[in-house]
Structures are given as C-alpha cells and as structure tokens.
C-alpha cells in the first residue's frame, strides 16, 4: 500500500498533486457507483472505456486515501494564512466569517492564534511575522482587547496578574479600600493601577 492513508502521509508533496489525486479517486468512485446503479437497474452495457474491470468499487485503502487527501486539501484552503490574505485585501471580518461559515469572534481568534504562532516562529529565526507585522495583524483583528482566545486571553492574564499585584500589596487593615477598587477597575478597563 503505497498511497497515503493518514492525514500526515497525505500532507507530503504539493497541493496541486494532492488535488489531482483526489479528483482522480472521486471520478473513479463516481464511475464505479454509476456502474453499480445501472447494473442494479439492469441497464448497464459495458464497453472498452467503462466497465467493471476498469472501474471496480474503491478499496478501503482508497477510501482512506480520499479521506486523508480531502482533509489535507481542506486544511490548506482553510488555513489562517488565507484569512491573512483576505484581511490584507480589505475584506471585513463579517465577510470573512460569512466566507468561512463561522462567527467573527471565531475567525478573529483563529487568525490571532495563527499570528501568535507566526510571531513565535519569527522570534526563533524561522520567518513568520516580525514585531511590526504581528502588531499590524493584531490591530487588524481589532486589538488584543477585541480578540477572544490567545491574544485576548494573554491580555486578560496580564490584567489579572496586575490586579493580583495590587491585592498582594494591599493592607486590609490600613489601606483605603475605595482606592484599591478604583485601581482594579482601571486595570480591568485596560489601564494601569
């Protein structure tokens, strides 16, 4: 069995070849199913181009290959880098969400997660997004406060840690509780204590 039957096996090579192989299997499957339907009706007439020997039903391995290739192709086109291209071309988040069949929050979160990964990749010296490109990507998504998920979560974590720092320094016996609450509200709103 030389053909890929897992996603990771199918992920090797180039997308054009993977699409061609998927199309080949899909066409074979369509012909094999058509033959089976026509045989069941009693109307099939084999010829040298379309017959049982040339187009038998797909094997289990070929079905697995189709699944693996289909997932590979879907992931390629569904990749957040495609969202980045749409953002840079001027598409709105509502348009991107509609195009991907999801919500604006979901698509923004996936985009920011991708941007985070690309920024970490750049930090390790492997391409990705530099600081300015990363900042532009996060800003395009509405800034860290508008983004649910990794970037928004990082901002929430920063705020929570700042609040904890205020509370750690707070002396419940002598400090003004109202001032502490005001500082916490400022932090929660994105400001400093």
pLDDT at 173: 73
What phi, psi does 181 have (nearest 5°)?
Answer: -65, -40
Where is mean pLDDT largest: 56-60, 126-130, 167-171? 56-60
Q: Name the residue with higher pLDDT: 76 or 24.
A: 24
- Cα distances from 128 to residues 101, 137, 160, in angstroms, run 27, 12, 29
Does the predicted model carry a pTM greater than 0.85?
no
The average pLDDT across 138-145 equals 84
pLDDT at 1: 43
Nearest alpha-carbon partner for 29 in 2, 6, 60: 60
Long-range CB pairs of 139-142 (<8 Å, 24+ gap) are 140/87, 141/87, 141/93, 141/108, 141/111, 141/112, 141/115, 142/93, 142/108
Q: What is the mean pLDDT of the chain?
A: 83
The average pLDDT across 59-69 equals 93
The average pLDDT across 136-159 equals 70
Q: Name the residue with higher pLDDT: 75 or 186.
A: 75
Check if the beta carbon of residue 138 is closer than 8 Å to that of residue 132: no
* pLDDT digits 0-9 by tens, 83-127: 999 999 999 999 999 998 888 888 888 898 888 889 888 877 778
The average pLDDT across 124-136 equals 86
The average pLDDT across 62-68 equals 94
Q: Confidence class of residue 178 from pLDDT cuts 50, 70 and 90? A: confident
């Amino acid at each position: 069995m030389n053909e890929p039957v897992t996603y990771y096996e199918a992920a090797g090579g180039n997308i054009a070849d993977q699409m061609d192989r998927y199309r080949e299997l899909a066409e074979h499957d369509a012909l094999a199913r058509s033959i089976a339907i026509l045989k069941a009706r009693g109307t099939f007439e084999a010829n040298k181009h379309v017959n049982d020997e040339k187009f038998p039903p797909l094997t289990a391995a070929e079905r697995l290959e189709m699944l693996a290739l289909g997932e590979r192709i879907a992931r390629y086109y569904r990749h957040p880098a495609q969202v980045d291209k749409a953002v840079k071309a001027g598409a709105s988040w509502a348009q991107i969400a509609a195009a991907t069949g999801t919500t604006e929050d979901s698509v923004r979160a996936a985009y920011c997660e991708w941007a985070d990964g690309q920024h970490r990749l750049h930090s390790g010296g492997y391409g990705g997004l530099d600081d300015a490109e990363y900042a532009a990507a996060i800003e395009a998504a509405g800034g860290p406060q508008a983004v649910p998920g990794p970037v928004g979560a990082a901002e929430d974590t920063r705020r929570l840690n700042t609040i904890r720092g205020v509370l750690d320094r707070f002396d419940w016996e002598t400090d003004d509780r109202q001032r502490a609450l005001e500082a916490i509200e400022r932090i929660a709103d994105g400001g400093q204590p």
